Amino acid sequence: MQQVNDTNFEQEVLKNDKPVLVDFSAVWCGSCRQIAPFVDQIAEEMATDLKIVQVDVDDAEQLAVKYDIQSLPTLMLFKNGNPVAAHIGAAGKSELSDWIKSNI
């Protein structure tokens, strides 16, 4: 999964033609590690419909503040450069997949 930070967020997320799912996480976050395999699988399965990137909040503090990330993991879906939906906390693959499909 592509890593995005303060430097390339605008180009990779806000200016992308596809919907973009941003996985706000951190290496120390157990719940983030728990959902990581599911997010990776969804990224492969939905590659034609959606781009998925990851933001390490410790490396991109400005983004975490800008998007008011208070809990990890937070998945935020962007369309046309705007956040349109957020999912906070761990979940199973089917729940995450259903949430994404209902919002893209």
Catalytic annotation, residues: 29, 32
Beta carbons of 10 and 22 less than 8 angstroms apart:
no
Q: DSSP for 20-59? A: EEEEEE-TT-HHHHHHHHHHHHHHHHTTTT-EEEEEETTT
